[in-house]
Every structure is written in structure tokens, then in C-alpha cells.
DNA sequence: CGCCTCATTGACTAATCTCAAATGGAGTGG
DNA sequence: CCACTCCATTTGAGATTAGTCAATGAGGCG
């Protein structure tokens, strides 16, 4: 691909200059490959690296003392992995690849270089972290308030939306390396129940999850069923410099604000951290 | 109280100089009172303030289209409310007081002043945000993987631990304005079921939740039952300046690292963001 | 072929929810 | 002080959802 998923994603929100594109290219010189099942980040790594996925899928999860695991998030091409754990010693999550992965390893030093030299990318990083948080909250809401079938539908609609952003979702679905066991660990259900629920959704003519592929048979119906509101994936930008001094010295920002964002402004979605 | 809960909490992690204490005092000049049920942050507030609670409890929650709500977090004296929503336009959560509350309103301008003038406090803010994230992840894990009784026990143990940090938990329990409906909304259960579970826990001789008071009848037993590991509440500090240049120009940091933190280092808790 | 892992299904059990009603304290107006 | 209301709590009975245990099938791979 001539343009990386990362640049693709950032471009969708911000206007990139040659400076930024150059910085991105530099980063991509250090791209490496990881086999399926590799741990990008693991418990106890204190000075580990962060990663920007170029291709492939990964999961971020937490293991419980009793051996159960909760998948906190799925990571797709263009996503950051382990950034917050780089900035702080506090995170306590692992990241593991679900497919072969190409990723750019970002050392802590580099991250700070990017922060100081390319404020726009720093902003992109902050934006990504915040988006992560919004997804985790949405995940919590789903696990807490939605039925099993709605959770499954909601998760797959979210993944579709995110894949669409990096050009990896087709017109009616997407290729999906996630197993039913993964869905179970992400949604707090058993694999057996996931299987039954998937069948119900399929028989209802809404969606098919089979042979590593998700197909939306009735997209509108599924969105309605799952109560899916993509707003949380597509939130506003961090405060930009023309409004006030940005927290990370991110000056000279030129942020783009697509029209479709505005329809989520001032709507019925409360705010806080 | 001669020392504010906020200063108290920050002091437990960092050595404060006169400079920082002065800044804290300045902040507290703008302290205000809010009645029970006030909304500190509400949907659609785009340029709203943040708050530092001085006394009282609040909840941070998200409302679903169907009227259900998921309580994402409880806020106690010394906690920040709505900080991330100040920095970004992205958050979509409300915050409401559960008791009469005294809080310091922090305008966006002030926040940036603090960031540039008092790096140590900026670090404290970042630390608080990260701690929030860790709590939300833990919350997600709980709702996804724990039984109803374990969730209840875990939540109340967490609150006890956090209250202890600001000197508001007694030897065997704490005063708690949270209703069974709140527990239900936080834990993804029905109030009816919460009630039954509380009875079971009480009859098991572990804990009593009655008349606005939580009493631990068998603390060790409860910790064991809930699989409670306080580590996530007490994580490391953000990277400090003597190790590398801090992300928010937070130089000249003097961070304290209590011994009890170290026992959580390099242990079996995976890391990522 | 033999051995994986993942998907699928059935029969049964356990957890949680729904609906409904009773209790009890705190405040309010008479 | 009493009657009344409001709200949180408590309990019961039955329905629903999800989990457990167990077995089978299907595909990939050495």
C-alpha cells in the first residue's frame, strides 16, 4: 500500500504537511513483523516499546488470578498499542497478536521526539488515547447494559466501522480473524453461548459470522438492533492551538472537522471524564 | 479540615513544595457548594469546567438511548471530575453529585496555567487520569468476569481503599451514600438482585451494607472472596524528569515512591494501554 | 492418518431478571 | 401528633438468560 493505515487514519482527521508525512516515513523505517500469538506488550515490561500497527490484528487484555482473561480492546491497522503504558508505569494489560502483524516499534525516546518536533502527531497520539478510553467506556456500557446478542452485534459493528476508517471493510462485511472464544472473552460470555447467539443473529437475517468473515445481511436492521451509535468513535479533536495553548505544546495545528462530526455535537451524549 | 483531601492525596505520592501548596491554595479560593443531585458536567457542555471534589460523593455515568444508565465511576473527595472532557471534546459522560458537594471549579485557562507553572501538579493530574483509566478497566473486568456477589464486594472494597487514602474510611468500614440502585447501575445488575446478594454477603459474615454504612465483618475473607488486588489503585508515577524528559514539560519533579508500591512492580500484571 | 483447534449442538443446571407486593424510615402538611 | 407520600429496601414466585458438561463435526497441518 502506498499510504500507511496510520497516515490514512490521521489524514481523515487532520491535514498533514510534508513535515508530518516525513516523520511518519521515518517511523516506518523501523517496521517489523510479528508472528501470530506474539506478545507485543507483556506483564512486567517496564521500559517496553509502543507500537503502531501497519497490518494485522491484536488484542489488549487483562489476565485474572484465576486464569480468566478479559479482552479490553481489539487493535487494528493504524492503531496505537501500549502508548499509555509507555508514558506511565501504571497500565497492567498485555497485548498479543491475533494474526501475523507488521508494526512500527516506537521507543520511548522517539515518542518524545515526535511530541516535540511534530506537534500535530502528538495531538494524533492524544486523540488516539482518548478514543481508546471512549471505546473502553462503550465496552463497559455494553457488557453492563446490553443483552448477549446486542453485545455481539455492537462489537462487530464497531470493528466494521474502525476497519472502514482504514479501508479494510468491504461493502457488506469484513474479513475477521477473531474466534468465538475471543468474542466470549471480550464480552463476558461463554463460547457456547456466543455460538448460539451468532446463530440467532444469522437466522434473524441480520449478520453472518462464519469462516473468518463477517457479513452484514441487514446492516440497518443490525444497527437498530444493537443500538449502535458510531458517535463515540468519531469524536472531536483535542483542543487546538488557535483556541488556547495546547497541553503538549501542539502549536500550529490545522485540524479538519468533517461535517458528519457536527451532528454529534450538543446531542444527547453527556460529558465528563 | 486544615489540609484538603486533594493535597492529602497528592502528598501521599509526591513531595510538595511551598510553590505547589500555594497553587493548591489559590485553587481552593474558588471553592463552591453543590446540592445533592446537581450535575457538575452534563451532555453537550462543550466548554465546561472541571472540578476537584473537596467533600461529598459524585457519580460519572453514561445514559443509553433506552434510558438505562451505566455508572462508570464513583468520585470521592480529592478526585478530579471532567478533566479529560476539558482537554478534549470527545468525552460523553455526565457527572452528578450523590451528596451535597464542595468542589473547586477549575476553568480550562487555570488548568493550563497549572500545567505550565506547576509541573508537579500537572503530573498529578495526569496521574489521576491514568488512575481513572485503570479503574475503568478494572470495572470492565469485574462486570465481564466476576459473579454478582464478587462485583459488589470488589466495588465496595475499592471504595474503602480510596476513602482510606483521603482519611474517610474508619477501621472497619465507611459511611456510604450509595443506594442499591446505584450499585445496580454500576455493576450491570438489577436492584432486586443486588439486594439478595447483599443479604448473602451479610449472612456469610463478610460485610454489612445497611443504613448508609458499609461495615466489613471479615475484611480478609472479603478480599479473598472478591479477589481484590489493590495494585491497580496504587500504580507508579508518570515518568519523571530525572529519567527522561517528561511529556508535559513537567520538569524538576521530585516524586516519592513509597515502599509498598514496589511490591507491585514486575509482578504478574501485564502491561499495555 | 492422527492430532490439533474451532465450531456446533443437546440436555440439564445455575444465575439473574421480571413482576408484584409488603415493609419501613424520613419528611410534609394538617 | 397523625395521616400521607416518597423513596429505598426487602421478599416471593416464576420466567428468562446464560453457564456447564458432554459429545460430535469440520478443517488445517505434520
Measured CA distances, A158 to A129, A148, A150, A163 (Å): 17, 15, 12, 9
83-102 in A: which are within 8 Å (CB) of B? 83-95
Which pLDDT tens digit goes with each residue over A141-171? Answer: 999 999 999 999 999 999 999 999 889 998 8
d(Cα B73, Cα B134) in Å, to the nearest integer?
A: 11
C-beta of residue A154 within 8 angstroms of C-beta of residue A142:
yes
Measured CA distances, B79 to A43, A65, B10, B53, B106 (Å): 28, 28, 10, 6, 13
d(Cα B61, Cα B42) in Å, to the nearest integer?
A: 10
**CB contact (8 A) between residue B268 and residue A90:** no
- Å from the B36 CA to the C28 C1': 19
**CB contact (8 A) between residue B144 and residue A141:** no
Q: Is the CB of A197 under 7 A from strand D?
A: yes
pLDDT at A42: 85
Which pLDDT tens digit goes with each residue over B109-156? Answer: 777 777 667 767 767 777 777 788 889 999 999 999 999 999 999 999
Q: Is the CB of B198 under 7 A from strand D?
A: yes
Contacts of B63 (CB under 8 A, 6+ apart): A268, A270, B43, B69, B94
Q: What is the C-alpha end-to-end distance of chain B, expressed in Å?
A: 37
Contacts of B267 (CB under 8 A, 6+ apart): A43, A44, B231
In the block, which residue shows the cell 486533594?
Answer: B6
Buried b or exposed e, range B123-146, using 16+ CB within 10 angstroms: bbbbbbbbbbbbbbbbbbbbbbbb
Residue B106 pLDDT more than 50?
yes
Q: What is the C-alpha end-to-end distance of chain A, expressed in Å?
A: 37
Kindly report the pTM of this predicted structure.
0.83
* pLDDT-derived band at A91, boundaries 50, 70, 90: low
Protein chain B, residues 115-154, with a C-beta closer than 7 Å to any atom of nucleic acid strand C: 147-149
The number of helix segments (H) and strand segments (E) in chain A equals: 10, 11
Query: Which of B43, B70, B115 is closest, CB to CB, to A269?
Result: B43
Amino acid at each position: 500500500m502506498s499510504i500507511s493505515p496510520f497516515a490514512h487514519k490521521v489524514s481523515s482527521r487532520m491535514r498533514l504537511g510534508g513535515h508530518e508525512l516525513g516523520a511518519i516515513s521515518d517511523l516506518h523505517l523501523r517496521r517489523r513483523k510479528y508472528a501470530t500469538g506474539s506478545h507485543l506488550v507483556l506483564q512486567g515490561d517496564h521500559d517496553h516499546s509502543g507500537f503502531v500497527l501497519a497490518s494485522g490484528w491484536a488484542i489488549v487484555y487483562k489476565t485474572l488470578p484465576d486464569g480468566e482473561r478479559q479482552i479490553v480492546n481489539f487493535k487494528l491497522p493504524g492503531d496505537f498499542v501500549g502508548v499509555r503504558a509507555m508514558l506511565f508505569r501504571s497500565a497492567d494489560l498485555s497485548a498479543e497478536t491475533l494474526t501475523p502483524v507488521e508494526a512500527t516499534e516506537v521507543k520511548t525516546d522517539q515518542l518524545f521526539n515526535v511530541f516535540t518536533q511534530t506537534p500535530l502527531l502528538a495531538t494524533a497520539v492524544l486523540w488516539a488515547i482518548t478514543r481508546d478510553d471512549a471505546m473502553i467506556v462503550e465496552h463497559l456500557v455494553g457488557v453492563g447494559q446490553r443483552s448477549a446478542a446486542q453485545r455481539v452485534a455492537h462489537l462487530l459493528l464497531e470493528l466494521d466501522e474502525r476497519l472502514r476508517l482504514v479501508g479494510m471493510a468491504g461493502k457488506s462485511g469484513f474479513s475477521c480473524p477473531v474466534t468465538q472464544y475471543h468474542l466470549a472473552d471480550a464480552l463476558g460470555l461463554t463460547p457456547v453461548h456466543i455460538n448460539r447467539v451468532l446463530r440467532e443473529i444469522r437466522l434473524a437475517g441480520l449478520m453472518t459470522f462464519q469462516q473468518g468473515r463477517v457479513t452484514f445481511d441487514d446492516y440497518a436492521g443490525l444497527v437498530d438492533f444493537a443500538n449502535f451509535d458510531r458517535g463515540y468513535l468519531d469524536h472531536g479533536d483535542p483542543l487546538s492551538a488557535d483556541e488556547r495553548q495546547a497541553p503538549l505544546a501542539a502549536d500550529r495545528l490545522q485540524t479538519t472537522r468533517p461535517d458528519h462530526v457536527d451532528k454529534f455535537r450538543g446531542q444527547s451524549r453527556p460529558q465528563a471524564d
